Structures are given as structure tokens and as C-alpha cells.
Chain A
Amino acid sequence: MNQKNPKYIRLAGLFALGWFFFSYPLLTLFNTSCTLGSIPLLYAYLYLLWAALIVMAWIITRFSKVDQAPNSRDRSPK
């Protein structure tokens, strides 16, 4: 296993995406007094984005076909 494993690159991409959507100026678009089903838009946006990131991380780790690291934890010398 190495650093170039596509799964981790994809997760890093998701990280960049998350950072972008959680920052200025994207936040300003949702910083209004509108509501989404009576939930303030800003909170709805933050929580939904958060949930979306988790789901995407799940999809990436679940469906990226990559070689698994051996169970390398050395347990013997205690």
C-alpha cells in the first residue's frame, strides 16, 4: 500500500471540496434569513453539507477497489 492509493487521493479531493464549501464566500450565499422548512438556511446548509461529506466518504471507502494493507500490527513483543 502506498500514498498514491486512489482511495486516499479521492478522500483528499473530498477534503478540498469540503473545505471549499465550508468557507467564505460560499457561506455568504446561505447567510440569509430564509428558511428551509422553517430551519434557518445557514444551519440547514451546514448540516446537509456535513452529512453529504460523510456519505461521500462512505461511498469512497466502500467502493474504491484497492489493495488492503496487511494486518501489520506487531503484537508479539509485549
Chain B
Amino acid sequence: MLTTGTILCLAIGYLLLLFGIAYYADRRADQKRSIISNPYIYSLSLAVYCTAWTFYGSVGHAAHTGFAFLPVYIGPTLAALAGGIVIRKILRISKVHRITSIADFVGSRYGKSALIGGLVTVIAVLGIVPYIALQLKAIAYSFQILRWYPQFPSPMDLPHIPFYTDTAFFIALLLALFSILFGTRHLDATERHEGLVAAIAFESLVKLVAFVLVGGVVAFGLHKGVASIFQSAEANPQLKSLLTIHAPGGAYLAWSLHILLSMFAVLFLPRQFQVLVVENVNENHLDKAVWLFPAYLLLINLFVLPIAFGGILHFGNVPSIEADYFVLTLPLANGYHNLALLVFIGGLSAATGMVIVETLALATMICNDLVMPLLLRWPPEYFRKQKDLSRVLLAIRRISIVFVLLLGYAYYSSFAGFQALVSIGLTSFAAVAQFAPAILGGLFWKQGSRTGVIAGLTLGIFVWGYTLVVPTVVQAGLLPAELLSQGPWGISLLRPDNLFGLSLKLYPGDMIAQGLFWSLTLNTILYVAVSLFSRPTAIEHTQAMLFVDIFKYGVTRHKSPFWKGTASIPDLKSILVRFLGTERTNEALSAYAQDHQINWHHDLRADPGLVTFTEKLLAGAIGAASAHVMVASVVKEEPLGLAEVMNILDETRQVIAYSHELERTSLELKAANEQLQELDRLKDEFISTVTHELKTPLTSVSALAEILLDTPSIEPAQRKEFARIIVSESKRLTRLINRVLAFQKLETGTMSLDLAPVDIGILIQEATTTHAQMIAEKGIELKIELPSEPAVVAADRDRIMQVILNFVSNAVKFCPEADGRILIRVIRSDQELRVEIADNGRGIAPEDHGAIFEKFHQLRSTGRGRPRGTGLGLAIARQIIEVHGGAIGVESEPHQGATFFFTLITGEQDSSAGTPQAQTGNPNT
């Protein structure tokens, strides 16, 4: 028999030891000699996951349902494995944005929304107060068991103890004191509490040792090893049924749902977020925690079944509320009183650790995401004028801690007697699991929107309340029992524990699986659907990008690339002083100044970097939403420049990048298309040229043949001359056809000239003879002036002939009907031979002098609708002359006639033969 005094002394002594550890760790932290900055302490602190529910409840759960307690620990194991991706991302985001609670995280992600932060806080408080009550109940109950053993106190007796004599009440007050002392020592921008973490890690160690020890004693002291317990269980008809899974189908899905539930819980329970993210010292500690934390869970669960089965074997079939305390009653029943005391301390550790961290986390959320936004929005003048709000803030936190604990106590003393530990814990899990779509979606899906979260969360928590809380309330007798048995208004499809007729039970009486299924499914569907149909605001978009792409943008800690604004430094400073106090503000600002080489005396305007820094610093103290509001009140936001606007929306940026790509591709396509069009044009041009060039000799041939046909009396000499011309023109035609086929070579620069000494004078004679008929018909006076000696150059005879013919026919064409005159001159100089063909026609305006040698350009008719010919002849002429290395041009004034000329190099024939060929490479330029 243990006396009340012994138990109380031990309990109080243990709590004082915790105070001592926390105090020591805090002092070490102040001296910058942290004792918690290692992965082992980090992993142990994560084990705050194992509460009194684990310590006592697992055994009770196992005693009645067999394997059903396991998902609660398998889930976190799997979550730890996924942690490399998920937790690390949450960690980085929270560090960069100084996020200090799960409510802050969700609110900040969805556009620094105070509404969402508040909603998450309310849900967390609703879901977790019963869980805190559960811890208080466990403490109180284990105390009663120790005191009254072998009498087993009825759980219904507990609430009837007046609070001033209730151990649970005083423990609650002590824990509130602890949380206040070590959780709210000062306002910390990073919200880290080394003393608290050290105490929690120590508690994790104590509960593990106590549980493993009692397990070892039960397995090896009371029985002949684990195997022998299972053998006995095999022989026990009640336990035999627990060794396998029975209800097929639904049970397996329910099993997976329970694992999923615990995965979410271990990530999103406020206390888990606190130790996992907020109290994390170094991201790399996660690497060890990934296997250390699961190893802890495995170890603490190793003896759950042996103790549970050992308990049933010893005590027979007892109600689950008694099975919950087998850990305590088994040693007591076998006379191990000291072991029972150690177990009590272990249970106390599990319960107090959870209560301390959970109340602190909830208090931070209540303060930053519920109270502060309200204070800042509807401010009594008092808050506006306060110089130093940091004391007010701390007071709010402290009051919140006491408030949460008293709420927990109130719940415990009113309801906790009705439920076994397990159902309370799992119901809380299901409440925080509602955050999963918003958080996981927020981490990886930029389109997830504020309205989507509000809609999803609201529906999710409503369904949670209906499927999981209502049945409890019914069981407590506060609502009519028909609600459960027949459904509201007799509609059985709406039965809360069997919604829409879905039956998912891991064990008889399991409501969690179907409750979680409906609440989480509907929550997710609504979140996704509303997000898809909503338009995010700019700040939502920015936050979405900053969160989802944290590893891209999160490197520079104080600079957001998506925001541009300035403020006066005194303004910013006064805000900081109000919430952080003068000392901390100066510390933080001078650290920033040192990092960024800023001289406060010279710079009065804060750049966007400092503004962002201020906001994040504030966010650590009062939450992202409130910090945003505060800083926005003094910041003059500059209109964003084009570049910034481009940066703001990643989507836009991607689209822009994409459209650049498109633009480039389309430019390439356009160029290719132009090239094709050019080729097409060249082909057309080629055909025109061909027909044109073929027409000229053909015209001569047919004209002469006509004369011969029409004029039988023609003189033989003349006939012979005509026939000779016909033959020569025909030959030229043949040659032309061959050349024309090679015309493209000219275009592509692969033409080769057939150079030979050519007497230009003879060519001119031949050309005029060809056109003699036309000249005679128009009554044109033709004059040819040739140099005294033969004008011989190295040239391609046919091509030069082509040029001369073209010039002559043009001259004939444009000579006036009466009094037409053509003068052909060949002028020799040292280097070149110049051939001029002048007419007295309309002349050409100077601006057209260049154009008429361009292909097609001169096709346009310039005078009175009469086309001046195909004009291709001149273009070809130019190419031919240029290929020969000569020059071509026209001298003319309107109504003064025109003089077309070209020059050919006469120099040394050999080299001139080479030079033109070399120039054929680029005839068009």
C-alpha cells in the first residue's frame, strides 16, 4: 500500500526535477551552449507524440481489439520516411517565414489569411481540449489507482471530487506554471524554447524506460517470456480471436485509414508541429530522426501485447477502462510496488510532456491567430497608443495557457468519465487530420486557394463533429439515443456512426474509420473543387509560390523577390519595439545592419529587404497575418515595375517563358516560311525570266520569217541575210534554253562564265541588226560610235549579247513615235570598256534609277498605266554585268531621255577571267 504522501511527494519531486532541467537548459541556451542541439534530443522530443494514451491506452486498446493499436505507431513511422520530402519542406518554409504554429502555417500559405489562421486555431482547440482532458484524466486516475489499490475506483467517481481537492486540478495548475515559465519567458522571434525541449526529451526517456521495464517484468518476471504469453493467449478463447484480423474487406481499408490518420496526426498536431518544426535547431537533425523516432515507437510498443494479454490472463475479462491501466495494476497485483511507482512517473511523464507542449502550441495559436488579429482590427485606442506591446502579448499568451488548461480540466471533469482513452485520442487525431488537404495541397499545389481551404475545412470539421463527436455526446446521454440507432428524423442513412450506410470498422465499435473517411474525403473534394474555381488574389499567389517553390526562393532569407515597398526606418522600428521590446528590437536590427552594411544614421528609408525582415521578425511574435497588417500600416507600397510584375506571378512567368519559347519558334517558322516564299518567288521570277528571254529571239525569228513569207520579191542577198539571222537567232535560242536551264545557278551563285575574247562592236552590230526591223518601223535614227580599234574584252559572248539586246530593245521601245533617236557608243579607257545606249524617250526619274535594276520593282508601271515591260531583262543584265565584274547603270532626267550604260574590265584578260568568277558567289548584293 502506497500512501498518498509518498505518491504526491514523488509526483511533485519529479515535476520539480523537470523545472530544474528546463532551467538548466535555458541557461545553457542563453550562454549559447545549447544542450538540445543534437539529433538525439530532437528525436526524443518528437516522442512527445507518445502520451498517456500510448502509455496506458495502448494496452487497453490491445487487450480488447488486438492489433488495432498498431496503426497509431505505424503511421508516424511511414510519415517519418516521407519526412525527407514533406517535413523538410515544412521546416524550410517555417524557418524562412518564421512560422510558429500550424495555424500560422496554413494562414500564411493562403495569403496571410487571418480568417484561416483563426479557423485552424478554433478547430485545433476544439479537437485537442478533450485530448488534454484525457491526459489529466490519466494522471488523476493513475493516482487514484495507486492510492486505493486493490480497490478499483470507478471512473464515474472522478468528476465528483471537488476541484480544490483534485490532484488533476493542481497538476494542471503546475503544468500551466511550467508552460508559462519556460514557454513564455520572453517574446522570441523564433519561438524556440530550449528548456522546454530539454524537459520533454527527458520525459520521453523516462516514459520509455518505465514502459520497457514494466513490459520486461511482465514478460519475463510474471511469465516465461513473450512466447509463453502468446501460447497462453492461444489457449484463451477470448484472446485467440485477437490474434488475427476478422472482419474482412472493410477492416483492411479501416486499417489503412487508421495508418493515414496517424500519419497526419504526427505531422499536424499542434504539439508535433511545435517540436518537429518550431523547436528544430538544425534541418539535418531530421536525418537521424527519420529512423530514431520510429525506433523509439517500435521500442515503446514492443511489450504492449504481452502486457495486454498478461493483464487479461491475470484479471480475466475486465471493462476497457480497467484494461487501460494494466501497466499499473499488473505490477501492483504482483507486489511490485516500486515498479508501480516508476510506471506512475512514466505515465506522468507522458501526460505532462504532452500537456506542456500542447498548451504552449495552442496558446501561441490563440494569441497570434485569434486574439491579435482581433485586437489589431477592432482596436481600442489603448492598443494603438501603447509603446510597448510585448508585455501585453506575453500576458495574452500566459492567459491563453491557463485558459487552455482550465478548458481541458473543465472537459475532463464534465465528460471524460465516459470514454476510454483511445476514442478521445483518435477523435482529436481526426480533427487535426482535417488540416491535411490544406497543408499538403499548400505545399505542392500552387492553385490551392484560400476559399478552397475555408470551404474544405468548414465542411470537414462539420462532418467530423457529426460522425465522431455526436455519437460520444449521445453515449453521454446528452442527446437522444434514437439519433444513433435510427438516425435523425428516422433517416437511417444519416446515422452519425454509419453515415450513408458505410461500414468501415477496424474493430467492433470503431467509428473513427468511417468518420475520417467521410470528413477527409468531403474536405478534400471541396478544397480541390473550390480552389479550381476560385481566382486567387495577388498575395495568395505570391505566398503560394513562396511556399511551393521554397527551395527556389527560400535561399535569401529576408528578401522576397515579389514585393516592393519602402517605409521609414523609425516607423518600422517603433512597430518592432511595440511588440518585441526595445532591447530585442535593437539586437535584431543591429544584426541585420551588420549583415547588410547599413548605416542607420544615413539611411532613413528601409528597403524592401528590411521591410520583409521586419515583417518576418514580427510574424514570429504575433503571427504572419497580424504582422502583415501591422507592417502594411506603415509601408508605402511602390507600384511594381514591369520587371517585378513579371516576377510576381510564377504562373505568368512560366507562361511568359513559354511564350518566349513560342515566339522564338514562331520566328523560326516565320523565317523558314519567308525563305520558302523567297524560293517560290525566285521560281516565279525564274519562269518569267525564261519566257521573257526566250521571247526576244523568237520574236526576231518569227518577224524575219514573216517578212520572207510575205515578201516573195525580196532580194536574194537580203533573203540570205535574213536566213542567216534566223539561223543564228535559233542557235541563240538553243543556247539560251541551255543557259536558262542553268539560270538558277546564276541565282544561287554557282554560275560559271564561258569567257572568251569578244568584240563588243560586232555584238552591237548584231544586236542592232536583230532589231533593225523595229527600228525601221518606228523611224528611229540609229547612230553607233565605235572606237577605232576593235573593242575586245574577255566576256561571255551570249550573256553580254543578252545585255546589249535588252538595252537596245528598251531604247527602241521608249523612243518617241516621231523623231526617235538612239545613240550607241563604246568608250575605251585604260581599265575598262564603257558601252552606252542613249535614247530620247521619256526618261527615268532619279529616284527610280536604282529600282529599275531590281527584280520586280521595276515591274510596276510608272507612267499613265502603261507598263514599261517585264523589267526582268534589266535585272538579269545587272547580274550578268556584275558577274563579269563590271558596273551597270542609267543616267537620265525625266523627259530628257535615258542613257543606259555598262562597263567591262579590259585589264589583263587572264586575271579578269578569274576575278568575275570569284564574284559570282554573291551576285545580288
Contacts and interface: CB of A to CB of B under 8 A. Distances in A.
A35 B230 contact: yes
A12 B85 contact: yes
Nearest to B552: A2
B143 interface: no
Interface stretch (B111-119, B182-190, B369-377): B182-190
Given A27-B255, A72-B95, A40 B78 contact: no
B230 A14 contact: no
B244 A50 contact: no
A58 B89 contact: no
Contact of A74 (B190, B283, B587): B190
Given A46-B70, A71-B282, A78-B186, A27 B290 contact: no
Interface string A12-29: 101100110011110110
A42 B290 contact: no
B294 interface: yes
Nearest to A57: B291
B291 A54 contact: yes
A47 B243 CA distance: 14
Contacts of B252: 23-25, 27-28
The majority secondary structure among interface residues of chain B is helix
B84 A2 contact: no
**Number of chain B interface residues as a range:** 35 or more
Contacts of B245: 27, 31, 42
A11 B186 CA distance: 38
B587 A78 contact: yes
B557 interface: yes
Given A11-B81, A58-B291, A77-B584, A43 B305 contact: yes
Interface string B163-195: 000000000000000000000001011100000
B67 A39 contact: no
Interface string B714-755: 000000000000000000000000000000000000000000
B391 interface: no
Contacts of A3: 85, 88-89, 551
Contacts of B226: 39
B617 A11 contact: no
B762 interface: no
A37 B298 contact: no
A23 B733 CA distance: 91
A74 B256 CA distance: 39
B82 interface: yes
Contacts of A24: 252-253, 255-256
Nearest to A59: B291
B259 interface: yes
A7 B228 CA distance: 41
B367 interface: no
A20 to B, nearest CB: 11
B829 interface: no
Contacts of A28: 248, 252
B83 interface: yes
A64 to B, nearest CB: 9
Contacts of B587: 76-78
Contact of A11 (B83, B231, B253): B83
Given A23-B252, A73-B280, A77-B587, A7 B84 contact: yes
21 contacts: A3-B88, A7-B84, A9-B84, A15-B78, A23-B252, A24-B253, A31-B244, A32-B244, A33-B243, A35-B230, A38-B230, A43-B230, A43-B243, A47-B298, A54-B291, A57-B290, A71-B284, A74-B95, A77-B190, A77-B584, A78-B584
The 3 closest A-B pairs by CB, nearest first: A8-B84, A24-B252, A77-B588
Interface of A: 1-3, 5, 7-9, 11-12, 14-15, 18-19, 22-25, 27-28, 31-33, 35, 37-40, 42-43, 46-47, 50-51, 53-55, 57-58, 61, 68-69, 71-78
Given A61-B291, A75-B190, 15 more contacts: A1-B551, A8-B85, A19-B78, A22-B259, A31-B245, A42-B67, A46-B67, A54-B295, A57-B290, A61-B290, A69-B284, A72-B95, A73-B190, A73-B281, A76-B591
Interface of B: 32, 67, 70, 74, 77-78, 80-85, 88-89, 95, 186, 188-190, 226-228, 230-231, 234, 243-245, 248, 252-253, 255-256, 259, 280-284, 287-288, 290-291, 294-295, 298, 302, 305, 551, 557, 584, 587-588, 591-592, 617
